[in-house]
Structure 1
């Protein structure tokens, strides 16, 4: 008997992935032409026009039973096609055919994958197939674990990173966002020796080689001359930012700003062809996810505008964690013995992630609840949406599809995004200072009274951070109005300051980001209000 009419509500991703991906067992596979088989039933699709149409041919054995051009993303067209396939034919499951067509629609919506010879990158599906069944099975189990991100942060800790769990989770999602059409970019700020580079290096080691490009130093033209398609959906790790901020360094990062904003690079350059010069157009497609670190507190504004600004923890408690971790390692007590197993599991998991389209049902509600009094909202809102989508993409084995083959973002995804971005957004939208600068302000108040003069050198005394970091914090406090500069730095003479009576705007949360209760008035969220259960 044929099954009943296919359910048009959201479909669990895990059941569709069982038809479209591999995870330690033999499953069906869609190639670039969208071909799949099911008990003698073969469905093939070829891309049509730009409106999403495709020509789909259905064969049973050697007999072609149906062939037509339709828009697979439209439920009405798809259901009519399922009727034509199943009516009068016993043993064909309508639900299974519907799932096949949804998977086919998603595959045909993706741009055709270029061969690895074109860009020096391996194909993720082929590389995944070459991994051990054990690694694939472990990765699949991790992707289906409701504590997926917490496990990822635990794994980074097992690789030697002490503390910094929230920052680790944020970097991991930035890397995962490379698969989106609008990935995230971030800059990790912190004093010298605060562990920025080490944390980034350990976290990015969980991404496979074809997903990451280590570019610790680059010239202004270097990105243009990469092999074709070598930047597309790549996680670019740029290392430590230059300490010199001038016109030359701004020009060096111009190409980076262009690909972050536009998703591609293009440049006209003159080349010699025989005995004459010809102008050639060089293009490099993105988009890219991006991260770098810096000790600078003031970053070139055009670069900062495109990135989420993150901070390391400079507190003595974090220093204690780092020293204890190092001491345990030297004493032979910190090594877990399965670092390679951790890395292999995450490489397999990242290769299993598919570039499904994503829908956020509550996005209009978020837009209504956002304040519009600051122009920075135009930058903040897309960053928040990208973080929500990155969480949905990472948790795709736990999310559902809608009838148009799109992953549905859950309340958990917003809860996590809000928790991770509360600090950066409070500074961007609320004009608040960074946590390190706020803690420095507290220490400054213990040492100097209101209107009492002091120099930059005196302010740096007793601080564990570098003088450069202290100067940056003073600049933040000056901009916030709690410190006033009386005389600027000149030659060997340090700048002179005084504390004012103004109080800092301190908030544990970020009121500029809509509260969970306002976005989901029915309480449809799972973890604690602060979202720490996702990470801690």
Structure 2
């Protein structure tokens, strides 16, 4: 008889042997079954064998059987049969536990009132603006652009091509808070939150357990060993692995494990360069580290401590945003203007960035599906909705900063520090030293020198030496280079929109241009002539 009432002490017993599995068994790693056993005869409980081994290792099992047979004075074949029965029971128990873990969370059914208030949001004309307001009411302070981008990316999890996001910023700037706050707006059954993860952990999820799920990673440092399978899930939308194990007969068998996506992945880090491969597959959101954002957060903290935050409105906002996502369907999106959209030449990795840009436009359209006419492809019979110019305009407004960062040779943190330091140059003059930079940015000497080296390497500053004092000082070459980059990208995005608008206007003009009276009169004069010509030809054929 096998008893599993206590997962930390599984018991197998019959009339001859009593076997306790101390500490239970690990559910991960199907290629091994490591246990700590206590074996004794029910009639002589004080005489027991305690042994730690892998029950899939034939040599270790044989050694245990011989040791138990000698100490308990029981036949070798009897003990072997009991051990084999124990292995079978443990395998069944482990599979049952894994199936229970992989059981889908129950999808919450919506009441009529909940459905009505969710549809009211999804059908509102200013949908994105209204959504951003609700995100603010849910407790996310500031970061108006970043929070809406992240929410829309999280909504893309239901699509065949989900997007991914990495939050970047200095320690203590609220990266995790932003991700947690937006993650709270996602239905519980559609997300998986991870703090740390082993190298092979992804392979032991159920085959479709991760499909169309949002994976929230608190800190990418905690899943460093699992980044490769994570990237494969992002790119190929599935991962697979073949493992070998020994069965109870000592035979080596192979098992092929496959875990399917697609998944939407979100993570936080302070180290942009270390996670470049993951960052290339994701949207990069740089946190607002301005004093104005600090004041917003501290003001909210003071109100919360004073009990002046309306918690009922907060919960209502969370409920509406969660329920509205439950009404979204994975419908196909067609962008009829895609061929007219051009990215700036300054973009450093144009191919992947172009794909992300077009996919984000589709996500904005997808989120607005209750405001779009549903059309049917005559060839395939598939339903679809079309992108509007307004969707493109909203995307450009949201992704403007993202595209500028994609065009910048500096990392996000280095750019933030340079722009912050530019504000101090008015008091310092045209030149500055390492010491002045350290005081302005409040950083250490080595950190300041690292920034100087980066800025000098790409030609933003030049290094000079004072021959009299033998000291080095620096000069900013072009104070407006970043503003010029912003203007250039904005101009390209606006020109693309203008081109699309002009094309639509021209098309509408061709469709609605009235036919003049003179043209009608000429057609009426020509019609009798055409009839006479046809009549003459008919007469000739008859003759």
TM over 0.5: yes
Aligned partner (choices 384, 389, 400) of residue 406 of structure 1: 384
Q: Which has the higher helix share?
A: 2
- Distance in 1 (CA, whole Å) between partners of 2:263 and 2:376 is 29
Asked if the contact 1:231–1:287 (Cα under 8 Å) also holds between the matched residues in 2, the reply is: yes
Superposed, 1:1-400 pairs within 5 Å as 119-122=102-105, 124=107, 127=108, 130-242=109-221, 249=224, 251-274=225-248, 275-366=250-341, 369-370=342-343, 376-400=349-373
Q: 1:462 to 1:441 in 2, by over 3 A?
A: closer
Q: 1:379 to 1:411 in 2, by over 3 A?
A: same
TM-score w.r.t. the length of structure 1 is 0.65
Q: 1:342 to 1:210 in 2, by over 3 A?
A: same
Q: 1:344 to 1:469 in 2, by over 3 A?
A: farther
- Distance in 1 (CA, whole Å) between partners of 2:446 and 2:434 is 17
Residues 91-130 of structure 1: per-residue CA shift (max 9 Å, x gap)? xxxxxxxxxxxxxxxxxxxxxxxxx979422464xx2xx3
Asked if the contact 1:298–1:472 (Cα under 8 Å) also holds between the matched residues in 2, the reply is: no
CA drift at 1:155 = 1.7
Residues 398-421 of structure 1: per-residue CA shift (max 9 Å, x gap)? 112222211211112211222222
CA drift at 1:440 = 2.2
Q: Secondary structure at the match of 1:358?
A: strand
Q: In the alignment, does 2:517 pair up with 1:517? A: no
Aligned partner (choices 398, 418, 428) of residue 420 of structure 1: 398
- Distance in 2 (CA, whole Å) between partners of 1:359 and 1:519 is 15
- Distance in 2 (CA, whole Å) between partners of 1:268 and 1:485 is 56
Residues 502-525 of structure 1: per-residue CA shift (max 9 Å, x gap)? 44332445245463213332578x
- Distance in 1 (CA, whole Å) between partners of 2:445 and 2:155 is 35
Asked if the contact 2:421–2:437 (Cα under 8 Å) also holds between the matched residues in 1, the reply is: no
CA drift at 1:252 = 3.1
Q: Specify the alignment match of 2:525 in structure 1.
A: none
Q: 1:407 to 1:464 in 2, by over 3 A?
A: farther
- Distance in 2 (CA, whole Å) between partners of 1:470 and 1:203 is 34
Asked if the contact 1:191–1:465 (Cα under 8 Å) also holds between the matched residues in 2, the reply is: no
Q: 1:198 to 1:508 in 2, by over 3 A?
A: same
- Corresponding pairs, count: 388
Higher relative contact order (CA 8 A, sep 6+): 1
- Distance in 2 (CA, whole Å) between partners of 1:131 and 1:162 is 28
Provide structure 1 residue ranges, at least 5 long, that are not aligned to the other structure.
Answer: 1-115, 487-495, 525-536
Asked if the contact 2:217–2:267 (Cα under 8 Å) also holds between the matched residues in 1, the reply is: yes
Residues 144-186 of structure 1: per-residue CA shift (max 9 Å, x gap)? 1122222222122112222111011001011001112111111
Q: Specify the alignment match of 2:477 in structure 1.
A: 501
- Distance in 1 (CA, whole Å) between partners of 2:123 and 2:282 is 30
Q: Secondary structure at the match of 1:142?
A: helix
Q: Secondary structure at the match of 1:505?
A: helix
Provide structure 2 residue ranges, at least 5 long, that are not aligned to the other structure.
Answer: 1-98, 378-382, 465-471, 506-543
Q: CA RMSD in A?
A: 3.1
Residues 190-227 of structure 1: per-residue CA shift (max 9 Å, x gap)? 12221221121111111101211111222221111112
Q: Specify the alignment match of 1:24 in structure 2.
A: none
- Distance in 1 (CA, whole Å) between partners of 2:176 and 2:286 is 12
Asked if the contact 1:481–1:500 (Cα under 8 Å) also holds between the matched residues in 2, the reply is: no
- Distance in 1 (CA, whole Å) between partners of 2:234 and 2:367 is 21
Q: Secondary structure at the match of 1:242?
A: helix
